[in-house]
């Protein structure tokens, strides 16, 4: 039973780290990436649709993202969605494709992005610690209900702390990789 609790906690912590990875992917560096816009919601055909279901996304150069809609009639809707997003990029429409030039980041913007990365990492670590706290409560409850021995409960709590520490290290490493990417000129 305690092994199941530990496995469940580890799995939930892994999900939190997955969310962190997804959020870090969306932080814009000086390089173009389709991940910045693929989930962008576009008002088309009387509904909201993700951009990657309406167009082909390509990165022909390191600082250029090209959006080629499958239906030219939604070109302005895509352009409007990009302009209204928080990407800070001005789209260029030539009638067949939309070009998104990624300007090099200023030093101030890089520092702001590093702060954002640090806050995302801290949020992930808080989520991991919350999962640890819930698992600790479950382990203590199992001990209290005499479903496990006191020694087994202490061993499980120690193992839970080891799992938590390893997940926190993984979150830190992900943050350091993204910081290095952001600071790369």
Residue 117 structural domain: 2-26+106-183
CA dihedral (28, 30, 33, 36) in degrees, to 10, reads 20
Please indicate, yes or no, whether residues 112 and 155 belong to a single structural domain of this protein: yes
For 120, the enclosing helix (H) or strand (E) is helix 107-144
Note down pLDDT in tens along the chain; length 185 residues: 888 999 999 999 999 999 999 888 877 666 777 777 877 888 888 888 888 888 888 888 888 889 999 988 888 888 888 888 877 778 888 888 999 888 777 888 888 888 989 999 999 999 999 999 999 999 999 999 988 899 999 999 999 999 999 999 999 999 999 998 888 76
CB 82 within 8 A of CB 75: no
In this structure, the number of other CB atoms found within 10 A of the CB of residue 121 comes to 22
Distant-in-sequence contacts of 70-77, Cβ < 8 A, 24+ apart: 72/96, 74/42, 74/44, 74/45, 77/42, 77/43, 77/44
In this structure, the number of other CB atoms found within 10 A of the CB of residue 68 comes to 15
pLDDT value at residue 61? 86
pLDDT value at residue 157? 94
Please indicate, yes or no, whether residues 112 and 164 belong to a single structural domain of this protein: yes
Please indicate, yes or no, whether residues 131 and 157 belong to a single structural domain of this protein: yes
Q: Tokens 């309406």, residue?
A: 54
pLDDT value at residue 135? 95
Please indicate, yes or no, whether residues 40 and 17 belong to a single structural domain of this protein: no
pLDDT value at residue 28? 67
pLDDT value at residue 94? 87
pLDDT value at residue 185? 63
Please indicate, yes or no, whether residues 82 and 112 belong to a single structural domain of this protein: no
Please indicate, yes or no, whether residues 51 and 84 belong to a single structural domain of this protein: yes
* pTM of this prediction exceeds 0.85: no
CB 100 within 8 A of CB 67: yes
| Total of domains in the chain | 2
pLDDT value at residue 182? 82
Please indicate, yes or no, whether residues 119 and 178 belong to a single structural domain of this protein: yes
Q: Rounded CA gap, 178 and 33, in Å?
A: 14
For 108, the enclosing helix (H) or strand (E) is helix 107-144
Please indicate, yes or no, whether residues 177 and 128 belong to a single structural domain of this protein: yes
Q: Report the length, in residues, of the chain.
A: 185
Please indicate, yes or no, whether residues 117 and 151 belong to a single structural domain of this protein: yes
């Amino acid at each position: 039973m305690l092994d199941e609790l530990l496995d469940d906690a580890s799995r939930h912590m892994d999900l939190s780290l997955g969310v962190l990875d997804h959020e870090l992917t969306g932080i814009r560096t000086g390089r173009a990436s389709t991940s910045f816009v693929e989930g962008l919601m576009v008002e088309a055909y009387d509904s909201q649709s993700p951009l990657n279901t309406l167009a082909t996304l390509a990165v022909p150069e390191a600082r250029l993202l090209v959006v080629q809609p499958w239906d030219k009639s939604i070109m302005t809707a895509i352009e409007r969605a990009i302009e209204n997003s928080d990407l800070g990029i001005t789209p260029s429409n030539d009638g067949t494709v939309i070009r998104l030039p990624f300007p090099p980041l200023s030093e101030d913007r890089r520092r702001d992005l590093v702060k954002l990365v640090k806050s995302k990492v801290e949020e992930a670590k808080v989520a991991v610690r919350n999962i640890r706290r819930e698992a600790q409560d479950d382990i203590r409850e199992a001990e209290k209900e005499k479903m496990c021995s006191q020694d087994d409960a202490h061993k499980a709590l120690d193992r839970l702390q080891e799992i938590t520490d390893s997940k926190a290290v993984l979150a830190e490493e992900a943050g350091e990789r993204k910081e290095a990417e952001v600071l790369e000129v």
